[in-house]
């Protein structure tokens, strides 16, 4: 089982309108609502591809209850930590003319007691002998001390469970310092968090802090794994176009699914063999490409994943 | 008790952003959520001014449950008719630069069985000896036969209860045809529903259909009551500026509150004396002005209403 923590889940609402205009009343032609937040996308992709997963998330007020009900409908196992604030909603307005406009609510501020309750829930699941990995993915609610992520990573390692962290900013640095098995930012997040001007320098900074390996997703430019002495790269699946939202989360799902293999535990600190990392990068690229083909983040067709995995000649390994 | 029906309630969400821009991700600086729909605004203003009121509304899914909980918190008596569709949300985006942008969801389509359940709830409340008026206010969900409004009006009159209808389009015409005691559109709604090019002609059309009196709110230009042979007018309270959203609903509350007086039943078909109508128009103007002073629709400060009611020299009665 892979435990997936979403620190700041969201109700993702998409409004289709005829044409976006400022200062007018616009009739919404179509409404879609999905449970969102990067961790939930990771968990849904894992579940869609048959990997046992369990989501942990703080949820508050009506939007929180909606997410809980939606996860039940999707059949995703989840532990809700009920908080007093209101879970955020994001509203994305789309038409066929302009780029989408996204309105992001700030989300709740959690109390120390509420974060303790999240840690207790995470700790209980990590103690389960079936748990093979911890994934932490997505932003932290504003005002959250990054140490919460470090503490989950430390708890995982205490149970011999590997950790994969896709956060940004101070939370990413805290995860690296805690020795996260894999830090998996995208390129922009890596540069922003480390202050580096190129990807290799940024990855080395996280490795110096303590990260086991740094995997950087580059969108259409593929995905790379950085260790202290070399870089492994896999290009993106060519010729795939569609909706890139959530492709990075699907890549995380593909990565962690491959790393834990068929459920066997791998020590959190053990260095991965190159062929293991390459297999995980190929899996990440295939999952990411499959996600691009779906209109909604957090979804893949397992047949697409399989097709892209068996696609030949997509690997190169520069030094 | 005044029974207020809101055929198409909404969760009214307001997002404040720094500057509205199309095609960008915008951080929401402040979120406000209120139970919305014109009837709920009317009911909340009545309750705020100490008038016993009972709201009837179809509610569906999570947004419907949110409205029900919010009305409980506000202390407004309400009967929910649970429907299978999803109650609509409206999102209004505001900044200090441009006009607000409003996104309106279409709202649920109710089945005939669900409308029957609404009629049963309305009928039960109208049969209560304490009920003095029926108010129907706001749009109908798309696909609704206007006859539902006519049937509530007929039921009210069967119980000797007067009716005030603030709807638009075919629903307004249906209410007039059913002999609504008061039809209370705003000027634009009146012209649009009747196809008339001036207010008097539009009002006469509704009176010919069967309306007892037609009260037309004109925003900053006051409010008028049309009967077959004359027009009574009261100007808006001068020098009041603020948020006009919901002012028309507050005017409806002030109007019906004055018409039913201190809880005595007035026959639905009885013509009102001119002084009764003038008192009701003054009450409507005072409530509307008080609503303009509040940032949120559906709210008034009773002290403001009292102050505007006692303001002298605001009445003229052209022929």
- With tokens 């045809």, the residue in question is B177
Residues of A in contact with B19 (CB under 8 A): none
Q: What is the pLDDT of residue B271?
A: 80
A99 and B23: CB-CB below 8 Å?
A: yes
B15 and A105: CB-CB below 8 Å?
A: yes
Task: State how far the Cα of A289 lies from the Cα of A243, in Å rounded to an integer.
Answer: 10
Q: Tell me the pLDDT band of A245, cut-offs 50, 70 and 90.
A: confident
The answer as to whether B152 is a domain residue is yes
Q: What is the pLDDT of residue B318?
A: 42
Any idea how long chain B is? 319
Which pLDDT tens digit goes with each residue over B131-145?
Answer: 999 999 999 998 999
The answer as to whether B317 is a domain residue is no
The answer as to whether A318 is a domain residue is no
Instruction: Tell me whether strands B213-217 and A78-83 are parallel, antiparallel or unpaired.
Output: unpaired
3-state secondary structure of B57: strand
Q: Among all residues of chain A, which has the CA nearest to that of B91? A: A91
3-state secondary structure of B33: strand
Which pLDDT tens digit goes with each residue over B5-28?
Answer: 999 999 999 999 999 999 999 999
How many beta-carbon contacts under 8 Å exist across A and B?
A: 86
Q: Torsion-angle region of residue B273: left (phi > 0), alpha (psi -120 to 50) or beta?
A: beta
The answer as to whether A319 is a domain residue is no
- With tokens 């955020």, the residue in question is A88
pLDDT(A262) > 60: no
A23 and B91: CB-CB below 8 Å?
A: no
pLDDT(B127) > 60: yes
Q: Edge-to-edge strands of the sheet including B182-183?
A: B78-83, B53-60, B2-5, B133-137, B162-166, B182-183, B213-217, B223-226, B231-234
Q: Tell me the pLDDT band of B314, cut-offs 50, 70 and 90.
A: very low
- The percentage of residues in chain B with a pLDDT greater than 70, rounded to a whole number, is 95
- The percentage of residues in chain A with a pLDDT greater than 90, rounded to a whole number, is 88
ipTM of the complex in this document: 0.81
Q: Which runs of E-coded beta strand occur in A41-128?
A: 53-60, 78-83, 88-94, 101-104
Which pLDDT tens digit goes with each residue over B215-225?
Answer: 999 988 999 99
Task: Using CB atoms within 10 Å of the CB of residue A98, give its burial: 0 to 12 exposed, 13 to 18 middle, 19+ buried.
Answer: middle
Which of B12, B25, B30, B98 is the best residue to mutate to test the A interface, defined by the most A CB atoms within 10 Å of its own CB? Answer: B25
The answer as to whether B316 is a domain residue is no
Count of domains in chain B?
1
Q: Tell me the pLDDT band of A316, cut-offs 50, 70 and 90.
A: very low
Q: Considering only the beta carbons, identify the residue of A23, A65, A106 that sits closest to B28.
A: A106
The answer as to whether B201 is a domain residue is yes
Q: Among all residues of chain A, which has the CA nearest to that of B24? A: A101
- With tokens 């109508």, the residue in question is B277
Residues of A in contact with B103 (CB under 8 A): 15, 17, 26, 28, 91, 93
> Residue A145: which domain range?
2-19+27-310
Residues of B in contact with A102 (CB under 8 A): 24-26
Lowest mean pLDDT segment, chosen from A236-250, A265-279, B21-35: A265-279
User: A4 — phi, psi (to 5°)?
Assistant: -120, 120
Q: What is the pLDDT of residue B305?
A: 95
Which pLDDT tens digit goes with each residue over B181-226?
Answer: 999 999 999 999 999 999 999 999 999 999 999 999 998 899 999 9
Q: CATH number for the domain including A198?
A: 3.40.1190.20
A103 and B23: CB-CB below 8 Å?
A: no
Instruction: Tell me whether strands B213-217 and B182-183 are parallel, antiparallel or unpaired.
Output: parallel
């Amino acid at each position: 089982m892979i435990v997936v923590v979403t620190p700041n889940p969201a109700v993702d609402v998409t409004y289709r309108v005829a044409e976006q205009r400022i200062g007018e009343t616009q009739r919404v032609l179509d409404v879609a609502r999905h449970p969102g937040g990067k961790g939930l996308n990771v968990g849904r992709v894992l579940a869609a591809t048959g990997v046992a997963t369990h989501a942990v998330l703080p949820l508050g007020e009506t939007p929180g209850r909606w997410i809980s009900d939606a996860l039940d409908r999707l059949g995703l196992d989840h532990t809700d930590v009920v908080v007093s604030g209101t879970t955020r909603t994001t509203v994305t307005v789309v038409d066929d003319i302009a780029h989408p406009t996204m309105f992001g609510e700030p989300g709740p501020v959690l109390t120390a007691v509420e974060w303790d309750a999240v840690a207790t829930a995470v700790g209980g699941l990590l103690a389960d002998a079936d748990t093979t990995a911890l994934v932490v993915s997505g932003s932290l609610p504003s005002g959250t001390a990054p140490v919460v992520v470090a503490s989950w990573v430390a708890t995982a390692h205490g149970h011999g469970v590997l950790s994969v962290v896709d956060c940004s900013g101070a939370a990413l640095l805290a995860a690296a310092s805690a020795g996260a098995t894999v830090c998996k930012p995208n390129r922009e997040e890596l540069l922003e968090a480390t202050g580096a001007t190129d990807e290799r320098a940024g990855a080395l900074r996280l490795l110096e802090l303590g990260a086991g390996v740094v995997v950087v997703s580059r969108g259409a430019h593929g995905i790379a794994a950085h260790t202290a002495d070399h870089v492994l790269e896999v290009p993106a699946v060519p010729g795939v176009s569609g909706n890139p939202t959530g492709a990075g989360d699907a890549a995380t799902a593909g990565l962690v699914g491959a790393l834990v293999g068929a459920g066997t535990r791998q020590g959190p600190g053990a260095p991965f063999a190159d062929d293991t990392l390459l297999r995980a990068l190929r899996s990440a690229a295939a999952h990411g490409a499959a996600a691009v083909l779906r209109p909604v983040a957090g979804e893949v067709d397992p047949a697409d994943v399989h097709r892209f995995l068996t696609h030949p000649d997509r690997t190169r390994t520069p030094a």
